[in-house]
Structure formats: structure tokens, C-alpha cells
A and B are shown apart, each in its own frame.
Chain A
Amino acid sequence: MPTLTIDGREITVEPGTRIIEAADRLGIDIPRFCYHPGLPVAGNCRMCLVDTNRSPKPVASCWDPCQDGHVVVTNSPRVLEARRAVLEYILLNHPVDCPICDQAGECDLQDLYFAHDHQPSRHPFHKHHKDKARVLGPQIIYDAERCINCTRCIRVCEEVAKAPQLVQVQRGERAYIDVFPGTQLDHPYSMCTADVCPVGALTTRDFRFKCRAWLTHGIQTVCGECSRGCGIRADVYRNAVQRLVPRHNPDVNQYWACDAGRLAYHRFETGRVSAVRIGGAAADYAKGVRDVAEALPGADARGVVVVLTPWMTCEDVGAVVAAVRSAAPGATFAVGGAAPGIQDDILVRADKNPNRNGVAKVLADLGVTPVALDAVLSQAPSLGALIVCGAEQAKAEALAGALAAVPLSIVLAALEGPLTAAARFVFPTTSPYEADGTWVNESGVTQRVRRAVEPVGDAKGFEVWASDLADRLGTPLAARDRAIGGNP
């Protein structure tokens, strides 16, 4: 176990640890471009040079492993001068088009320039011009002038996505990143190349020119597109999600997220249910809850069935079960959910529901044994009431038919669809970016979902609806049935 000193502070690390990792653990900031903790080391940018007692000249701290008795200095005049020179060299042909660059505001080059170089260009000649706005794939646009050839994107494709689609061509100042002729950057993790890009060379088409990075504020939440539950950050500006970016979660997704999950927020931009509808006509939310509270107890004799969705948070499930049971003690519960889809061995899971684990756990805790959905569908015409939660139902058409046959049909959904068309009572609910609560992913990791934007119209969380319903029934939910989160 080598023990070394960095800027006068001692640390003992496992053999093979790089100096930059040890410095990160100590909280000592060493500037870097090509080094990324989730990627193999390339050591080509030379930004992370540090002085050591084992070498006559500065060494790249991302490459040099820690040795016993190493004395590392990260801020000696020689190191600072080396950084300044490296930055000046990198910036030689950089177009400095920050005003139109989407990376501005979160650009490593920008930040490090102001921290370490901070001088006008001494380059008297014309800058070398290269391709701008080159389309590499369906999600990625490449600006060769801004590129500093750190090759992080190439390593992402090779190491994370296992799809070596990018390559560096040419040499020296002419070098740039490209796809192989006749192919394009189209693997399902292609947007991660834009994440790791330290400058604005690779930008996503989704976020390109949409909003400036500094205008957004990031909400740390969880992706719901599959049962993996990747940690994501929703960047919000003017009450709209502008983009989703992965956040580091070593237990779930490391640094990465798939393209499909990052574009999922577009699903909730149109086709939202925004107002309560009773029999097709828009109605007041309070009236809708009152009508349901009046009709529900009477339906218990013929049977009340609630179809839950694994998109609900754990708190939602608890509250809905408690509220419905207080109106109809004999109610039974089924769990629906979105249809399974593709799966890969990186992140994407086949189960396209984020909280199947959590729903099952809450139901077990509450002593509810869910019935099979098919059984519900077959006995639908004889039921007194059918409540369907969530629009993400694989058997939506069959459920819609069942809803049409039931005297009291209630749908709580965020999106319009066959279910909302068939039901008598339609209540708007929150999208995953408006919801607040807890999800449990497929491997049992419990994660907090946070509200990023305000709900549209009358949309309310399932839990709030259930709570209002229970209040109206005269049996308010106990504190343990309510969420810790604080839904609208």
C-alpha cells in the first residue's frame, strides 16, 4: 500500500492508483481534460501535469501511478506555468465562439482558461478552420474547431457502449473526430459522448441552441424509463425540462444513461391530461373527488378493483390503497404497467416500469395480495367500479373495454390515451418530472424522485388525490399513509 504526500497531505492508496485519483480523494483539484474517472486513461491532454520527487520534469498525474514515498506538488510555479502553456497551446486554434457554443457556462476549457491562462491570444496568424456543425449521428452534432482531441468520446463508445463507432483521424492540429465512412454514431448511449466532452465539440441535437446551461437549475431525480432507475439531473428553465443528463450513482448507473431515457421527457410535453373530466366534460377537481366519494362506497357490493401501475411512487400506492379501502373495504388490487421492451447488458432493462419492486413491497406491507390483471379483465362487466392508475398500461385497449363496461370507471393518468377516452371520471396526474416520492429499482435500490417542474393544470399526484378522496369520505389518511415528500 503506497503512501504518498500531495501538497503536504499524506494519503495511503491501493497499488495502481493514479495520482489524480488520490488527489481527488483528498479534494485537491488537478485540472484535466482527457481524464475521466469512468474511462480508461489516455493521458493526451497534458493538463494534469504535477511535480513529483521522482521525476526531473512534471508528469501527467492521470497516468503516473502512486508510489510509496511520492511527494507530489500540484501548484508549484513550474506546474502553473506548464498548465498555462498547455492551455495556450490548446487554445491556439480554438474559435472562442463561446456566445454560440452550448457548452458555455459548463465548459472545462472556459473555466480553466479563466483559472490558469487568462491572457489574450498571442497567435498572430489565421486560425485553422475545420468543419462546424457536422452531423455524426441522430443525436450528436460535432464541431471540429472546438474539439481538443481528448478522445473521451472515443473511449465512451468503446468502453461504455461497447460500440467503437468513433475514431480520430489526421494528426496534429488537423486531427479531428469522425465516424467511419458510411456509418454514423447511433448506438443507444451516443449522448454520453456529449456529456463527457469537456468542451462544446460534441453537442446533442436535443439541447442544441435550446437554452443556455447557466439559465437552468438542475433537479436530482431518477429516470423512469426502465427498472434500472438511473440517476438523472433534470435541467429546468422557465418551468420546463430542457434536458436530462445522467448523474453519478455508483450503485446504479455509474456516469451514464441511455439516449431513450434522456429523451423521455418529450413524451410529457404534449397530450397531457390537464383538467378533471366527468363523462367527457371538463369539471372542477373538487366536484370530481366529491362525486367519486359519493359513488364509490355503493360500488363495493359488486366489487371494486384498482389497477395500480409500477410508475406510482411507494407513497402513492400506500395512499391509494388506504383511501380506496376506506370507501370499499372489499376492494381488490392488481398491478398493471408498461409492456416489457428491449434489454442490453449495459444499463437498459426489459421491464419498462421504474417501481415494480416498490409497489410489490408496499402491497406486501399493507397485506394486499394483488390479483392477476387478466382475471380483472375477464370479470370486468360484473364489477361495481374499476379504477385504473397511470396511462402506461400494456393492456390499455383491454382495460379501456373493461372501463366502458363498468358502471363506475375512474382513470387517473398524466397522458391522454384509450383509457382516458373510455373512463367516466378522468383525473389528471403528475408526470414523473412533476412527481415527488420514492421508487425502488430492480436491484432494490431505493431512490428519491424529486419534482423538477410544477404540474400542469389541475394535475395532482396519486397520493394527493387519494388523500382528498379520503378527506371527502370522512376518513382522513393517517400520517403514515401520507408521503414524506409533499405532493401538490
Chain B
Amino acid sequence: MTLTFVLLTLAKILGFILVFCVILAAILTWVERKMSSIIQDRIGPNRAEILGFRAFGLFHPIADMIKSFTKEEFVPAGASKTLFFLAPAFALVPTLCAFAVVPFGPGDLVISNLDSGMLFVFAIMGFGIYGVTLGGWASASNFAMLGALRGAAQMVSYEVSMGLNVVGIFAVFGSVSLTAIVGAQGHLLWGWLPMWGIVVQPLGFVLFLVAAMAENKRAPFDLPEGESEIIGYFVEYSAMGFATFMLSEFLEVIVIACIAATLFFGGWQIPWLDPTGTAGGWITVAQVAFFAFKVLFLCWFQMLIRWTVPRFRYDQVMSLGWKVLLPLSLANILATAVVLALVV
């Protein structure tokens, strides 16, 4: 392990995760509020100002941040203090780790080119459940506890079908490494159609997106938290604890967008342009930018769903997960296997 490698990796972590993802997450809080407002024919936040500049309310995330840092960190009586403070970290860290294997661009523009790629993502995302259950349990609050139970059940249920959904992708592209999957999507079907995941696995994409949004606990699957009425597992959190939960939620939106873009939208691939990713120069820059565009689009798409669809009932969530998504995922795997067996 050379010093160059360490420095390079640190630079990539800094560039991709801190600059791209965390700042994007902060901006997403603004996007979420602004988007909900204009969908609802309102103006949205526009009052935070610096020296008279309002910048369409872009300073609100900064104001929120200052507020979160300066608010009193309230711990309920009877709460398990250590776990109470650890829980937000358990929610945040796995989400950040998931970015490690996402190829932001061709070649070395990935923090860690793991062969196990997608399996690593599943493994690390599975830890997110600890943040929820610990947060709910450590709060010493019945409402938080019930929210955590709902959250744990929902996340476990959807993790199953989320994993099975991408088996089809693995089968088609013959790898679980995200870099390899992206590289394989550079091929063309019948000489003209980019072999993106969404082309070869359309049902898989829909199922993956549904399962991933449920995994993320955002509307219409926001039963664990239900900020407007059924309070959830981080009801007792204030200040930075609360902000950390919210940040990890928005980071998960980005993770889902990254994974979906990588698996189903060709990652950094620009159709018919440099499928091997060896051109370098401006083409590489364009490829990274195109990946970023895909991620932003998918973030926007998730938010559009969030402000369109009303919340499910809890029994609906459960029956959707076990009775609809799981059989459909299995059917998808079967159909993929049959087609592959016939075609290849």
C-alpha cells in the first residue's frame, strides 16, 4: 500500500463522498421543501438571507445546520444515554460506506473497486436497521419503540425483495462487481440499443425502486417515522441527533439513486460513446457529469413520487412486500434464467 494510493483514496473520499454526496444531501433538503411547495402551488422557503441576498432560499440548509448545532441536545429521562447518542451514527455511517463501491466514473474513479461490489452494498446497508431500532429503543419512549418496531419489520421485509431484484442483473451481466456491471452496460443490443439494466430488466428496475424506497422509509413508505402524525423512532431526538437521522435519510436517497443509476442506467456510460472508459480527457469529465446527471434525475424522481403518492397503510406495506414484490422478484429471476438459457 503506497502513500500515493492512500492519498489518492483519501482524495476520492473527500471528492466523492464529502463534496458530492453530503453537500448534495444538504441541497436535497432544500430541493425537497422547494419542490413540495411548487408542486403544491406555493413559494416555499425563501426568507433566510445573508446581507440581503436570499438566493431562492438556498441559505435555509445553512440556517438549519446552524440551528441543529446550537440547539439543546435533549435526552429523555430514562433513556440509555450511550445508545441514544450512538444510534444516529449507526444510521449515518453505513449509508456513507455504501458509496465506497459506487463507480463515479470510468477507470479508477471509484473509491474501492471491490469484486463483491453489490453484495458489499447489501451487507453494509443491512446495518442501517441498527440506527432505527437502537434509536427507538434507547429513547425510553413507547412511541419511539413502536416506530422502531415498524421500521425494523419494514426494512427486513423489503431487504429480501431488494436483494432478489438485482439477481437478474447479476445473471445478465455475469458479475456482482459494480465496475464490471457498468462496463458490461456499454455493449449494444442488435448493434444499436445500449444494453442498460433498464432495457434488459425493466420489471427488475420497477421492483428495485419500490423496494429501495421502502427500505429508505420515505413516503409513501414513511410509516416508521410519519412526521406529520404517527410519530416514529426518532421522535425524542433534537438538534444534531435529529439532523443526523435526516441527513442519513437524504444520503440514502442519493445511495439509491447511485445504485439505480449504476445497475439500470449504465452508470457513467454515455450511449455509443467510449464504452470501455479509456478515452480520458474531456470525455471522462463528460462521463462523470452524465453519471451525476443520472443521479440527480433519480433523486428528483424519488421526490416526485414522495410528493405524489399518499402513505400506505401498514398492512398494505407488509402485503406489498411479501405477497407482491417477493413473488414478482422470484418470477423475474425465473424468467431471466429461462431467457438466458434459451438465448445464450
Answer yes or no: A and B touching, Cβ < 8 Å: no
A residues touching B (Cβ–Cβ < 8 Å)?
A: none
